[in-house]
Amino acid sequence: MIASDKEFEKLSEYRERIDSLNAISSYEVYRWLISLGKKLKNHPLSEKNRIPENQVTQCQSELYVGFENGQYKAWSNTPITSGYAYLLIDIFNNTSKDAAVTITSAHIKTLGMHNLFSMIRKAGFHQMIEMLCALAAER
């Protein structure tokens, strides 16, 4: 599977972490996502780039994604959404441009978080992946 290649090392790291937490309880995955969401606040997408073109419209929360200062960035107003946004931008920021454009929802599904989200949160999660891939293709 492509997600196990060296190019996708960060994806593999997250998959191992989520598997370990899920072995304890899905609640632990949520707690961990919330802790990641706090990290997102350290370097969020700037307010000037929180524009309609950068909004993840299928998300139940406010969520924006963009590329600025040579990095993928995001901002959300809720802890769990901030957590998965941090996870996704960290994966994309640690993957080459050539590999980033090949990431699909199927790769991210290997993380094992798919069953933890509501339908609307899943829709936003997948839309964010598509938006990040599009940003990678533009670079």
Domain ranges within the chain, ordered by starting residue: 2-138
Write out the E strands in the chain.
63-68, 71-76
Instruction: Look at residue 109 in the predicted model and tell me its pLDDT.
Output: 84
**Assessment of whether the complete model's pTM goes beyond 0.85:** yes
Round to whole Å and give the CA distance between 134 and 64. Answer: 14
* Residue-level pLDDT, tens digit, the chain, 139 residues: 344 356 688 888 999 999 999 899 989 999 999 999 999 999 999 999 999 999 999 998 999 999 999 999 999 999 999 999 999 999 999 998 888 888 888 888 888 887 778 777 888 888 999 999 999 998 8
pLDDT attached to residue 75: 98
What does the pLDDT read at residue 7?
Answer: 63
pLDDT of residue 6: 62
pLDDT at 76: 97
What's the pLDDT at 97? 84
Cα gap 77→125, rounded to integer Å: 15
Residue 95 to residue 103: CA distance in whole angstroms? 10
CATH classification for the domain delimited by 2-138, as one of 3.90.1010.10, 3.40.50.300, 3.40.640.10, 3.30.413.10:
3.90.1010.10
pLDDT at 1: 38
Sorted by sequence, the CB contacts under 8 Å of residue 135 that are 6+ apart come out as: 65, 66, 67, 72, 92
pLDDT of residue 5: 58
Buried b (16+ CB within 10 A) or exposed e, 5-38: eebbeebeebbeebeebbeeeeeebbebbeebbe
